[in-house]
Amino acid sequence: MATAISTMKLLGDHDFIAYDHDPGATTAIITSPDGGTTKRVMLLTGLSGFGCIVKPTIVGGAGISLVEIIAADDAAMSVNVVQVKSSGAIVHDSLDDHTILECSAEEISTLSQTALYAAVRITMATNTDEASVVYIGISPRFRYSGLSASLQN
């Protein structure tokens, strides 16, 4: 029988959101299930940092070739876009490969005083490659149980 105790240390201290990334392209695309039409972003207000975990889910060639954390002034990720972190050139051609990147709010503000949103921009080697992406909002100012909720669509 499973425990009835509700422990929310990690999930109450950080905001985790998992996304599917299906870019349908070999250009750099912000995390999106539909080729960049729906951009997955995270509001930075109240966070001490932002992180991500990216791993391939469908590999038709060399998989993931670049992962970047970017920040911008708007949720469309189109105004004052800055690159905050980069994996550099990588070859994630196995389902066991993954990249983890993290940055602090201070790092972002050093590059842009007005950035309110962060996102992960991914470059795939072939247009059939796909990935799974987890966004991590690090240490929100207001912590509470259930910060990271399970969702089903």
pLDDT score, position 61:
85
Within-domain flag for 145? no
* pLDDT computed for residue 153 by the predictor: 47
CA dist 100 and 95 (Å) reads: 15
* pLDDT given at position 14: 79
**What is the mean pLDDT of the segment spanning 90-108?**
95
- The answer to whether residue 21 is domain-embedded is yes
pLDDT in tens, 4-59: 766 666 666 778 899 999 999 999 999 999 999 999 999 999 899 999 999 999 99
Residue 144 has pLDDT above 60, yes or no: no
Reported pTM: 0.88
Number of domains the chain is built from: 1
Quick one: average pLDDT of 121-144? Answer: 88
Domain assignment present for 77:
yes
Q: How far apart are CA 121 and CA 144, in angstroms?
A: 29
Does residue 86 belong to any structural domain of this protein?
yes
Task: List, in sequence order, every residue forming a beta bridge with 68; answer none if it has no partner.
Answer: 86, 121
72-87 pLDDT per residue, tens: 999 999 999 999 999 9
141 against 95, higher pLDDT: 95
Pairing state between β 117-124 and 49-58: unpaired
Residue 151 lies in a domain: no
What pLDDT is recorded for position 100?
97
CATH number of the structural domain spanning residue 116 = 2.60.120.380
Mean pLDDT (the chain) is: 90
Range of the domain at 92: 13-138
- Report, as an integer, the average pLDDT of 60-69: 94
- Whether residue 6 lies inside any domain: the answer is no
Short-list 4, 8, 2, CA closest to 148: 8
Residue 43, in any domain of the structure: yes
Whether 144 is covered by a domain: the verdict is: no
